[in-house]
Amino acid sequence: MPWQKMLFREDAVWVRVGDDGRMLLDRDGRAEMKYRETDNKSYRPGPANLRPDPSGGPPRELDAPPAGGDGEAAPTKGKSRKAAAPAHDPNVLQIWTDGACSGNPGPMGIGVVIIDGKEREEAGEYLGVGTNNIAELVAIERGLALAAKRVPENGDRRVSVYSDSSYAIGVLDKNWKAKANQELVARLRRKLAAFPAAVQFVKVSGHAGVPENERCDELGRQAIARAR
């Protein structure tokens, strides 16, 4: 079956369609989607969260369509394309975060990975029902809370937050106006201002094989699965 390029949230994605160009839905009424042509992982968003990509062109066959869904890796004969992880200074405290949402809105989970030199700390948490943007913001909030105990009061420690959310980085680091989630955004801005070290935000590609980003996504989805 062919795939059609569409838009999911802010990202261009590929969605499986029939020969007539319409989305193919499973028995739960969800589409099959993947983020990159060569991904071997697919997801099941609700069709209401997908919209046409004006520059998408006609449906076409892709080189390596996945055989699985719902975020599980599918078998493939070829190797999936992996994006290079950003280079890291070992002296920088790394906070990796991701929010997962099964539907938008839907059940939310978050994943956090803290890397402090040779030390590593992981956390996953179910948040209840809400939106993807809420999950992304709360993941950063939890990451800052876990990292605060590792930062000396003198503020000499350097801290980087890695997120694949353009929205979260925009409202927290680029002075975007928060049209929704205003209370949550305001609370996070206060916590960032009071954090005992300067925080740098780093945008990473989501669902592109960056190991710590993928691990955060896995922790968030595992939290949702446990809650179910």
Query: Which residues have a catalytic role annotated?
Result: 98-99, 136, 164, 207, 217
Helix (H) or strand (E) holding 129: strand 119-130
Question: 16 is written with which tokens?
Answer: 């499986």
Q: Rounded CA gap, 222 and 206, in Å? A: 17
Strands 11-16 and 3-8: antiparallel
**For helices 132-148 and 166-173, what crossing angle results, to 10°?**
60
Q: Rounded CA gap, 195 and 139, in Å? A: 16
Amino acid identity, position 84: A
**Contact (CB, 8 A) for 203 and 169:** yes
3-state SS assignment for residue 103: coil
CA geometry: angle 103, 104, 106, nearest 5 deg? 60
Q: What DSSP character marks residue 23?
A: B
Alpha-carbon torsion (56, 58, 61, 63), positive or negative: negative
